[in-house]
Structure 1
């Protein structure tokens, strides 16, 4: 196809420098100062502030100063964490860029949408997000969704034949497409007239960039859980204060500072920050597996999915269509050699009975068939030199251009000989494409598409004996035979028109020229990925628009379906729909292969699976997939061949279009959720141990085992770094060998409750027993508190290390698999020991250096916790 020249690459680069990138200014990320101030906007921080004020009011200046120092240190740590997560998310977002097709130097190019410049000739197709304001030169059945600009919910038809006044309202400019709108139907070519802030969208950029982003549901759930825990702790502390009043012997100031210090040390105020870090780490790890997260919650949600609805082409297959067989209507077939856009030939095909048909006598028919495939085509293929080819467009269209080369046809010569009058672009609803051409004052309609569509349109077929009435039964048998072998079959037909007219209306009484069988090989890693899903309790279904026989053949190779498993077609779904939802659910329940499925039917399948209790992930690449992706629990867009609409509807994007990358993402999602569980267990168990320690001391009439300042210090040292470091824990292995968690499962579920009661309870009881023993041995109160505080720090160190896995022994986990935790644990211990030697700080904390034998004694007690943790894990391994 001959294209207008468009800009040269040099002109485009000059204009890019002149006008700048085609993008709107992004909302400015909050700076460090804003992030720092945000750390104080929490009910938990308000409690600390009250504690500081009370300390100063009752003359406890050192305690008040220490609480202020804790506030500042916590704020600093939170600021660093949030800033790092913010930078990571921003970097990943930049990896997901829009693309645009422009004509430069006379050839189509796919470029980054930010590189579009005024004067570019832009090509638009169904599913594209318009990258700039465009004055149309040519439009074919073009409809555009402009609701985000005009509020009009119905797609607007565009045309170059309509005269539009210069001052026409935005909604009436039918000859112009605007940046940010979406092509829902048709094709167009136009000149870019504005980019970036100069576009209509740019004029309202402030409003667009100010849209509020909703907080992920997981974070909302976690915050609700944190408040519930805080309420429970408040009740426990209130009961403890009441008990202290009943027992007597405690001053009002002691009880006040103890209550506040205990509350702050036990409330997991660091949990939201640790979870944000865990999700940000998950985003980064998924990016390494070619999974780009658009919505933070998708990190965890993908790990929860129980059912994946995958398309076929490019996800389960390599998306490199190659013509492999040509079958003429009278049954004569030929083999095509070569793969992809590499060299090859059309050769005689061995029929299996010792006979073969030479190419020569049928060369004219082969070239006629391939001429139709070349003219009913929107792609581009050109020699780039050094035995390489430059191509752009749909893979099926490109495969026909390659086939034309193998038959010795000149693509440019065909376009010069037959001038295109009208193009009927491919749309999934029509399942065909066509071209009306003029040749020596005669008009020809060339059509290619699904065999069912073209057989219904054709009345004749071209044979060696000439044009004869079509034998529908014989041709259908040929087609079904190819489809059952796993081929994608494209039929081609032609018609000479008595006069020029609308191409779509003329698609009748066609002459069938033959069929081309194409193969899109299964990705080598796809079968293993499907097996991994099944091992992890995840069902996989293939949903495609292909013929049922083709879909079933590929599903059998992938072990998605067995030889006798049914294939549900679009017709089956229509019949079930007429009977009611229960019939749709019965049809979908056990099916794993869906063929000849229409866009809205894909959404019906998803809804049926969700009604059955599945947490559904859906892959898609086109505008027709967007409804199902939006309806699903997790929408997955293809990064290479996905339309902008699909990417906008998706929660995450697969940059390499591989099904195995989706499975890797599921695994990483499970790792993230497991790490969230570990952090929750660590924080809640530590808080529970402190409350239990105080309850036991009050019940037995012992003095407070720790001062309020020591409680604050324990919270800072025991949890300040180790909880965040735990979020960096890598996968343990076997994440995909377990059933997915229930979507509605609460964070604080049975296993974590059990962990808190056993491990947190053990820490509290051991600390109480140690404190009582120290007093009985003659240690004064300050030294007993000093040693008890050291014990609690050691408990925190051992508990953090043991929390790396709920079932695996600490001795079977490589130490350096999580270097952050391996640094956080000794740092926490050394900071606490160092504080004993820092004048001023040691006075505030009321601690002093201890001997090695005393430290070793506390370590020996702490190792009891290690033994208990190991016994608890061993019990879980035995009971499953």
Structure 2
């Protein structure tokens, strides 16, 4: 076919929408580009006018902006105020120490966040490559970014369509548009079809859209839209807007931050009132006491520990094929209570597979295996001649290819044709040998209006016509059917009953027929013999069922949202265990009608359903929003552009890495590199581990702060001097305990993370278990520290030495508390000692660092500490050991309570 031969076939205006509807004033289908393509000069002018053919990239903040963001926290504001007041009062060492800590925290947070964003940038794989165009009447290969409206493209099998185009001619063209529409089957195109201007994408058979794949045939097409003016670009513009939803951890941390900040101000106010009522404290002493109190209660080590916990989780998830694009999203999976999953390419392999072969005499063969790999078998007597004849017809009335290369099976062509080649392989046939044995005389290509394809082949001195297509078409061509006893008159009622039974199960059905031909009648598809039917389906991923089961066992609900047929969607959902046989399926048209009645009607329709079919991208976003209104933390998985709006709307967006489109990856918070739904479950488990570790760190820090708070209040009530100065409290929180806080974030999984239901979205970080832990541990530490401080002063020791002993006791309390914080419910004796070697090193190092500080001039002067005897250290260790006994008893009680709970 030459380019000039297309001229007669072009009918201005008959190919559907005018390109102006895409936002461009030019060109039309009758443009000169339909004859000779654009001139190079015209193409350059349009490139200057419309810009390069590239989707927008979201701007990334610079290192300075990231660094500045680290200071946006109520905790930081309080510490800055404390530093300023320290300088005003002449407490320069305390002020300097606070400022250094703030800068170190900001540097750690900046490095981690900047590193995560650089990794995300490396994942970007925008639509790039080359394409073939006609310019100045010459075929050229250019970069896709140089395509402009009006260019004449030459498309062929295997090409990725680089822009929205209007077809002017094609031959046997089929296009995979699943990334836009969710339809797993390739769409046959017809450039001369009359299409309504408001037709949905799946019905615009005279157009191809950017990002779709040519699976079969070839075509010439005029570019109508590039970059953001394409259908994929419109969605890209939508999903790059500011995100409305927030990750669960951010919601909880923000609430926690304001709770602690509010508690600090209340405590400072109460302490100030108490000191004023006592009348024995100077104004400077009151100010220094309030600064010390603020410093003691604020979990200064939380930002660093939080960042480390997320970074560790990010690395662990990467080992499970989960790439994190945004650091804060590490924990999001663990918090999700609902997963909305796309079907095509996510729960299914996006490769049609023949599941059943049904012969006219009601003989049924089950077929195992999935996808293009010929693994699996045909169950039953495969020597039966009629089964072999059906497979021969499927192989010869076929334009596709299947081969083994590079250690894997690869295919080229329409997925329906490929499925027949795989079936023949499972039967043990040699495709190459069969095609050599029966030479093809003529091919009858598949066309949508015909709904069949065929081939005339010469076998020795006899010629055969093989055909395959829709059962309705094949029945109309057949007068006989093949049975064990030979050809008999066709039983149409029987075959229609077989067809209806398979259709109800959601199968795509193809019928096959043959007849011997003579030279003058070989193109007449009539008086044929019906060979049987095959039932095809896009099979579920073998790991998907177990993964969904694990999600459900962990209290996470899963729903399927697809653009596919309701019967097909429900069949897949039943196989995956998502719904029962009598469960309803909600379609896009049903949601549209419910929306007309109001949001409540739509929510009532959506709430109980777990299978959604024939859903458009905007409706998928609405479904996610509805589940979020029901107080779910929603994660959305998908690989297509049609999934991107919903991923943006959700608390967590998960894109498939292999088949995922660029827009889907850009929108997602996480990317599954192996397209394995089971990897999501591993990500959920690791997300829960991350959150549990963050809880442990928070409980450790707040309990330590509460113990200091309790120590201060008891000291004020007793009329004693401040038990520790501000710089000592800061040292305790950030140095002595800081190493242990960070090391606790390395704690591995306990093994029962998926045995519990997800946390309720309304559940704050400060829930009952943490509050119990803080009150019990903090009361014991603060109370015993006060007793030790009081007795030291009563024994006549200087206040500086009493503070020195109190600080050492608090450091020892922190060592034991860190070890026992490894689990909220399990005994320390039940945990592997070396499972977290970082903590096992951090505990003795923290103790040794404090002891070394006692002997180092300069540091000991700033901290106002001095060495103590071994006997004194032993006595303090004995006192601190009581905390271990108390916490073990609390865990034992909690375990009994959990076992007794229904």
TM-score by length of 2: 0.70
Q: Does 1:688 align with 2:715?
A: no
Cα pair distance change 1:438/1:656, threshold 3 Å: same
**CA shift for structure 1 position 260:** 1.8
User: What do residues 353-397 of structure 1 show as CA deviations (whole Å, max 9, x unaligned)?
Assistant: xxx84249x84x65555555x35xxxx635466997542577555
Q: State yes or no: 1:824 paired with 2:855.
A: no
Could you tell me which of 848, 864, 867 is aligned with 2:885?
A: 867
Structure 1 match to 2:31: none
Q: Determine if contact 2:393/2:467 at 8 Å carries over to the other structure.
A: no
Give 1:248's match in structure 2, choosing from 279, 282, 300.
Answer: 279
Q: Distance in 2 between matches of 1:619 and 1:311?
A: 6
Provide, for residues 110-145 of structure 1, a one-character-per-residue CA deviation record: whole Å limited to 9, x for no partner.
xxxx9978799896999x997689999978799999
Q: Choose from 90, 95, 98 the match for 1:67.
A: 95
**Structure 2: how far apart are the matches of 1:524 and 1:143?**
23
Cα shift at 1:539 = 3.6
Which stretch of the first structure deviates more once superposed, 275-284 or 316-325? 316-325
Gap regions ≥5 residues in structure 1: 4-19, 105-113, 148-157, 162-174, 202-206, 425-432, 496-509
Corresponding position of 1:239: 270
- Sort the Cα spacing of 1:122 and 1:716 in 2 relative to 1 into closer, same or farther, 3 A: farther
Q: How far apart are 1:473 and its partner, in Å?
A: 5.4
Aligned partner of residue 331 in structure 2, secondary structure: helix
State the shift of 1:64 in Å.
Answer: 0.5
In structure 2, which of residues 756, 762, 766 is the aligned counterpart of residue 738 of structure 1? Answer: 756
CA pair 350-35 structure 1, distance change in 2 beyond 3 A: closer
Secondary structure of the residue aligned to 1:636 is strand
| Gap change, CA 1:298 and 1:708, over 3 Å in 2 | closer
Q: Distance in 2 between matches of 1:34 and 1:735?
A: 36
Q: Secondary structure at the match of 2:825?
A: coil
Q: Is residue 282 of structure 2 the alignment partner of residue 261 of structure 1?
A: no
Q: How far is the alpha carbon of 1:798 from its aligned partner? A: 2.0
Match of 1:477 in 2: 498
1:400 aligns with 2:431: no
Q: 1:490 aligns with which of 509, 517, 539?
A: 509
Q: Structure 2 vs 1, CA of residues 718 and 322 (structure 1 numbering), >3 Å: closer, same or farther?
A: same
What are the residue-to-residue correspondences of 1:455-466 with 2, within 5 Å? Answer: 455=472, 459-461=476-478, 463-464=480-481
Task: For 2:375 and 2:850, locate their aligned partners in 1 and report how far apart those are by CA, in whole Å.
Answer: 73
User: What is the alpha-carbon distance in structure 2 between the residues aligned to residue 860 and residue 347 of structure 1?
Assistant: 73
TM-score (norm 1): 0.72
3-state secondary structure, aligned to 2:772: helix
CA distance in 1, matches of 2:393, 2:853: 88
CA shift at 1:422, angstroms? 6.3
Out of 895, 898, 901, which is 1:877 matched to? Answer: 895
| Cα distance between partner residues in 2 of 1:686 and 1:345 | 61
**Paired residues of 2:334 and 2:688 also in contact (CA < 8 A):** yes
The worse-fitting range, judged by mean Cα deviation, of 728-737 and 289-298 is: 289-298
Is the counterpart of residue 283 in structure 1 residue 301 in structure 2? no
What is the root-mean-square deviation in Å for CA atoms of aligned residues? Answer: 5.8
Deviation of the 1:790 alpha carbon: 0.9
Unmatched tracts of structure 2, length 5 or more: 4-51, 133-141, 181-188, 193-205, 232-236, 458-464, 515-527
CA gap 1:290/1:404 in 2 versus in 1, 3 angstroms: same
- Tell whether the 8 Å contact from 1:346 to 1:359 is kept in structure 2 after alignment: no
Number of the residue aligned with 2:812: 794
Q: 1:797 to 1:137 in 2, by over 3 A?
A: farther
1:153-232 equivalences under 5 Å are 216=247, 218-219=249-250, 221-232=252-263
What is the alpha-carbon distance in structure 2 between the residues aligned to residue 624 and residue 522 of structure 1? 20
Which SS does the other structure have where 2:335 is aligned?
coil
Please give the alpha-carbon distance, in whole angstroms, between the structure 2 residues aligned to 1:664 and 1:570.
Answer: 30
Q: Deviations over 1:508-543 (max 9, x none)?
A: xx9987422347776554454344233322344556
Structure-2 change in CA distance of 1:868 and 1:550 (3 Å): same
Contact 1:459 1:469 in 2 (8 A): no
Out of 800-809 and 652-661, give the one that drifted further: 652-661
- The total of aligned residue pairs comes to 785
Q: Distance in 1 between matches of 2:886 and 2:729?
A: 24
Query: Matches of 1:719 and 1:518 in 2, distance apart?
Result: 62
The C-alpha deviation readout for 1:717-736, integer Å capped at 9, x for no partner, is: 24433333322222111111
1:679 CA displacement: 2.2
Distance 1:831 1:192 in 2: 73
Q: Residue in 1 aligned with 2:718?
A: 700
Distance 1:339 1:141 in 2: 22
How far the C-alpha of 1:752 sits from its partner, in A, is: 2.0
Which shows bigger deviation, 236-245 or 321-330?
321-330
Q: Deviations over 1:480-531 (max 9, x none)?
A: 26986xx954324799xxxxxxxxxxxxxx9987422347776554454344
2:672 is the alignment partner of 1:654:
yes
Alignment of 1:738-817 (within 5 A): 738-817=756-835
Distance 1:550 1:705, change over 3 A: same
- The aligned residue for residue 841 of structure 1 is 859
- CA deviation digits over 1:408-435, x for unaligned, max 9? 56499999944869679xxxxxxxx968
